[in-house]
Amino acid sequence: MPDADHVFMERALFLARRAASWGDVPVGAVVVRDGRIVGEGANVRERDADPVGHAEIVALRDACRAAGRWRVDGATLYVTLEPCVMCAGALVSARVARLVYGATDPKGGAVRSLYEICDDPRLNHRLDVRGGVLAEPCGAVLSAFFRDARRKRRILAS
Amino acid sequence: MPDADHVFMERALFLARRAASWGDVPVGAVVVRDGRIVGEGANVRERDADPVGHAEIVALRDACRAAGRWRVDGATLYVTLEPCVMCAGALVSARVARLVYGATDPKGGAVRSLYEICDDPRLNHRLDVRGGVLAEPCGAVLSAFFRDARRKRRILAS
């Protein structure tokens, strides 16, 4: 039986696949408050030439635009990949209450892998964290994207 | 004799004062490449209800918009206050070559105070860092802002 976290992560996974369709690393995110989606995002860094175009930040800004404030107190953010330093910092800064992520990022993850930014008692906010929700499909969409990219590079180079 | 770093920091300080004029914590930033300013920003978090509206990110996005790409290789970012976790992560992520900051932020700084994000050999990029440029006036504009804010709150509460 899928719980609510799985249902929202499925939506984030759908958004991740969209990012792949326009050539960005497939990561997707949704912001949920009171059981409703209030913000959505997919990676647009390449597409929009936006240095902060990661899915988490696109979803956060979407939620804030709708609410008319820069804080999203009480919200849960779902994202298909463990957040990087920038995004983990943004989650703390925007006072997100809870983070649910899918696949682990051993090379760049800043929530469990390289740092524990979301649990630092020295910062002015901490989040509840749940990792590994739909980790397998969230990771598989990334692996497929990078496999494809390598194949294309080989064809172009040959 | 002021060096180039002081000249660009003066501009960041001018932008910081602008942020105070619209009620945001006064922090300003500029992005410089080949001796020319290619991006500018001031804190707009309250004004624009933008969770990533810190001066560094506004300046980075400005530079990337002009260049049409999400990387700012070879650039120096000047900012009046030591960057937070989110902004330090954004600088690494956007491949900024060098960071020059003014005042230290003992409570939230992620470049020297709480973390050394810009020097982490595990991340995919590192920056040269110079802190303390015009630290006194950069800090003074912040102190004056918070003193004013406390005074206003006292008047409203009385």
How far is CA B113 from each of CA A93, A110, A144, B107, B116, rounded to the nearest angstrom?
Answer: 17, 18, 40, 7, 7
Task: Determine the number of helices (DSSP H) and then strands (DSSP E) in chain A.
Answer: 5, 5
Alpha-carbon distance B55 to nearest alpha carbon in chain A (angstroms): 13
pLDDT reported for residue A82: 98
Mean of pLDDT values over B63-86: 96
Return the residue of B nearest to A122 by Cα: B107
User: Contact, A90 vs A121, CB < 8 A?
Assistant: no
pLDDT reported for residue B1: 57
Return the residue of A nearest to B124 by Cα: A108
Q: Which residue has the tokens 């860092």?
A: B129
- Which tokens in the block code for residue B60? 């980075």
Please answer yes or no on whether A51 and B65 come within 8 Å at the CB atom: no
pLDDT band of B158, cuts 50, 70, 90: confident
Phi, psi of B44 (to 5 degrees): -130, 20
Distance from C-alpha of A51 to C-alpha of A79, rounded to nearest angstrom: 18
User: What residue ranges of chain A have pLDDT lower than 70?
Assistant: 1-2
CB atoms within 10 A of CB B2: 10
How far is CA A55 from each of CA A31, A83, A117, rounded to the nearest angstrom?
Answer: 11, 9, 18
Share of chain B above pLDDT 70, in %: 99
- Which tokens in the block code for residue A95? 């006072």
Give the closest of A50, A64, A123 to B49, CB-based. Answer: A64
Q: What is the pLDDT of residues A96-136, one digit of tens each?
A: 999 999 999 999 999 999 999 999 999 999 999 999 999 99
